[in-house]
Structure 1
Amino acid sequence: MAEKQDENTRRFLFYMGHPAHYHNFKHAISILKAKGHDVKVVARGKDVLFDLLESEDWDIVKFPARKPSMRSAWSLTVKLGIAAAIARRELSMLKIARRFEPDVMIGTDLVITHVGKLLNIPSIVVNEDDSAAIPLMAKYAFPYATAILAPNCCDQSPANAKKIGYEGNHELAYLHPDVFKEDLSELPAVFRESGNYYLLRFASLHAHHDEGRNGISDELALKIIAILEPHGRVFITSERPFAERLEPYRLPVHPAKMHQVMAHASIYIGDSQTMAAEAAVLGVPAIRFNDFVGELSYLEELEHKFQLTKGIRSNEPQKLIEMLKMWVGDKNLKQTWLDRRKAMLNQYISVTPFWVEVFEKMALKNR
């Protein structure tokens, strides 16, 4: 059982299942701790998440990563394995929540909604995907969540009545100028000496909502590099293995420095939604090449309202090639994007203070 709290403090449990969640919540956690609140972080091994947590002195419980299956994608055996992993995670989370007794549970995992419902603890799902893009989350998490914190543009049907909306997106929780300062001196000399450089990102595309989706192949990556290399260095960051001939381009920095790398890049190209949005809000010309184009409202807003990113589906590689050729020849490209970023920031809020307010109000209601 948790120790008795001071009347002015609350207990917050954050669940992180992806490196993006660390970035989403790190400033909110710092603010809550500075106010004297108790915070516990539960994290599941995924990509570089544990590496990012190394520098934090938080109270952290680590769940092991799910072992990748060698069977065909989303076979019955794979699905049963995932269901068993969720059941184990729910049991572990149940034990943690009973001991810690949080006033509110926050994250993106269905487990916090189930455990919260069972123990009568409010849960907040922090989400920026439309329900149609994450059908399992919408079906198995939203009905049990107390609230869904999401950008105004996102459709959370059939749970829109639970939605707490705001003008902004997840990426501004950690890349808004109020909390993120560009500093090239934080990066190795190769970045300071490279002049123009370009960032490529390969996502794993192994999540349940990625089934049947495609992104950048090694062959296409080589064509992209051939266009970019005459104009500057090329660096690759990847969740998936790639061909040995691409190894010389692997990004030589700790994951914690990724956003400094991105902020100073001339162009970003990738099949990751999150990193395309990150580049966009930093004012970096960004192309996302995958089959989610047209399906995610927050990226559609960044593309069509603010013109900060371009989406190209995976069956149109030549369109990607032609756009890159046009962009590298545009001397005004960077300034154009910075002007568009300024227009975006004038309409969006600084997200973290708003989130903290929502978290604290929910915790107060539980007293």
Structure 2
Amino acid sequence: MRVVVTIQHPAHVHFFKHAIRELEAQDHEVHVFAREKEMAIDLLETYDIDYEVLAGESDSLASLAMVQATYEAKLLRRARKIDPDVITAIGGVAASHVAKVTDAKSVVFYDTEHAELIQQLAYPFADAVFTPDCFRREVEAPHVRYAGYHELAYLHPDRFDPDPSVLDDLGVEVGDDEQLVVCRLVEWGASHDVGNGGFDDIEDVVSQLEDAGGKVLITAEGDLPESLESYQVSVAPERMHDLLAHADLFVGEGATMAAESAVLGTPAVYVNTLSMGYTDELEDYGLLYHFDGEERHQRGLHQSVEILEREAPTFWEGRRESMLADKTDAPDMILRAIETVVPEDVALREEARLRREARREEVTTT
């Protein structure tokens, strides 16, 4: 097969990296196209994945529309030359549109219910949409639910072994009477972030966590107050999961990192007005605590302090094992999803491709 994978966020690199390797190991032809977004390009380089950048970053919702249009137009030009069998993506707006025009099949993965615009633009054109079975919305496309989370595509214990050297590499020392807390702050610039929020006062967050014995490290998308700059750590994108795995607690506004912490067995306190099916289900497993509403700041901090003061690490590992027992191996699911939409006899697909190329040559010659 000829498979196109599109990347528009660092988490997409993690999600597809094992599937890309498996596809290439099976001698399929894989083309990866990316948009510059935070550390996505750095991750592609780190994992030695061949890629091509089609568009840059955006600094506002208005510029995001232009960047997306540029990305889609360039993807269409490249796909016409490649003539892929499958185009796959998370979200899948460009992937589903380009697949329709190029006679490819589109496989879209998604797990974010409130990103309605993306779903309205992608789902009607998709050949198959795969979501975790905790996804709470109906999908206007062939819809397959699977028992898992995006994060398990790269953090399942069969695929990920945390490296304990991450703290030494960061130069971080945690005292005998301290517990490591990773705090994540978001910038609230995505289209689905409009009108939503997290903590009221990050200085209060740090103060209360420290009073409870926390050694606080902050990773933030935007700028921090000058008083908190010393708490910020610069973690290589491929080492962030090592840090989360060795933390005693995650406290933050980002759903993806909260879920990553939870599936690693690190209790996560997620403070955000937005909820997803996967955050709700991880809360059912007792690995994540979600706080929204007007009192989310204080309620989230109260829970964080309670975890630091009361719970032992083995308590969370038991809850993680219960969750893993119910879930499937996501990279294998990705491969099955791609294979499902492709005709059984790929030779027929190749013959059709050769006929199209012959017709193009005839037109050019004429």
TM range (shorter): 0.7 to 0.9
The residue type equivalent to 2:88 in the other structure is I
Q: Give the counterpart of 1:154 among 135, 140, 146.
A: 135
Aligned partners of 1:326 and 1:29: how far apart in 2?
Answer: 42
Pair 1:324-2:304 in alignment: yes
Q: How does 1:1-367 map to 2 (within 5 A)?
A: 10-69=1-60, 78=62, 81-107=63-89, 108-130=91-113, 133-159=114-140, 162-189=142-169, 193-195=173-175, 196-217=179-200, 220-230=201-211, 231-293=213-275, 296-304=276-284, 306-313=285-292, 315-316=294-295, 317-332=297-312, 334-365=313-344, 367=349
Contact 1:187 1:257 in 2 (8 A): no
Asked if structure 1 preserves the Cα contact closer than 8 Å seen for 2:251 and 2:269, the reply is yes
Report if aligned partners of 1:268, 1:287 keep a CA contact under 8 Å in 2.
yes
Distance in 2 of aligned mates of 1:129 and 1:339? 27
In structure 1, distance between residues paired with 2:4 and 2:137: 23
Structure 1 residues 319 and 186: CA distance shift in structure 2, 3 A: closer
* Identity %, equivalent residues: 34
The amino acid across from 2:26 in the alignment is K
The C-alpha deviation readout for 1:151-175, integer Å capped at 9, x for no partner, is 112134242x511111111000000
Question: How far did residue 364 of structure 1 move?
Answer: 4.2
Query: Relative to structure 2, which stretch is displaced further, 245-254 or 58-67?
Result: 58-67
CA distance in 2, matches of 1:141, 1:348: 27
Given that 2:96 and 2:122 are in contact with CA atoms closer than 8 Å, whether structure 1 keeps it comes out as yes
In the aligned structure 1, how far is the partner of 2:169 from the partner of 2:237? 17
How far apart, in 1, do the equivalents of 2:234 and 2:68 lie?
A: 34
- Aligned 8 A contact 2:20 2:30 in 1: yes
- Classify 1:35/1:205 alpha carbon distance in 2 versus 1 (closer, same or farther; 3 Å): same
Structure 2 runs not aligned, ≥5 long: 350-366
Aligned residues of 1:289 and 1:314 also touching (Cα < 8 A): no
Deviations 1:75-115 (A, max 9, x none): xxx2xx44433322221011110122211001023011111
Change (3 A) 1:189 1:15: closer
Q: 1:87 to 1:347 in 2, by over 3 A?
A: same
RMSD: 1.8
Go from structure 1 to structure 2 and tell me whether the alpha carbon gap of 1:42 and 1:329 turns closer, same or farther (over 3 Å shift). Answer: same
Distance 2:293 2:181 in 1: 20
Change (3 A) 1:139 1:290: same
Q: How many Å separate the matches in 1 of 2:96 and 2:318?
A: 41
Return the TM-score normalized by structure 1: 0.87
CA contact (8 A) 2:185 2:220 kept: yes
1:39–1:58: 8 Å Cα contact kept in structure 2?
no
Aligned-partner residue type, residue 15 of structure 2: N
Number of residues of Structure 1 aligned to a counterpart in Structure 2: 340
Mapped partners of 1:174, 1:279: distance in 2:
12
SS at 1:141 equivalent: helix
**Secondary structure of the residue that 2:159 maps to in structure 1?**
coil
Q: Gaps spanning 5+ residues in structure 1: where? A: 1-9
Q: Larger Rg: 1 or 2?
A: 2
Partners of 2:107 and 2:195 lie apart in 1 by: 30
Give the Cα–Cα distance (whole angstroms) in 2 for the partners of residues 126 and 36 of structure 1. Answer: 23
Q: 1:24, 1:173 within 8 Å by CA — same for their partners in 2? A: yes
Alpha carbons 2:258, 2:270 under 8 Å: kept? yes
CA distance in 2, matches of 1:103, 1:325: 52
For residues 166 and 64 of structure 2, the distance between their equivalents in structure 1, rounded to whole angstroms, comes to: 39
8 Å CA contact retained: 2:167, 2:173: no
Aligned counterparts of 2:93 and 2:184: Cα–Cα separation in 1: 27
Following superposition, the deviation at residue 18 of structure 1 comes to 0.6
Q: When the two structures are superposed, what TM-score results if normalisation uses the length of structure 2?
A: 0.88
2:7–2:33 contact (8 Å) kept in structure 1: yes
For residues 67 and 129 of structure 1, the distance between their equivalents in structure 2, rounded to whole angstroms, comes to 21
Q: Say which SS state the counterpart of residue 53 (structure 2) adopts.
A: strand
Residues 83 and 102, structure 2, Cα contact 8 Å, conserved in 1 = no
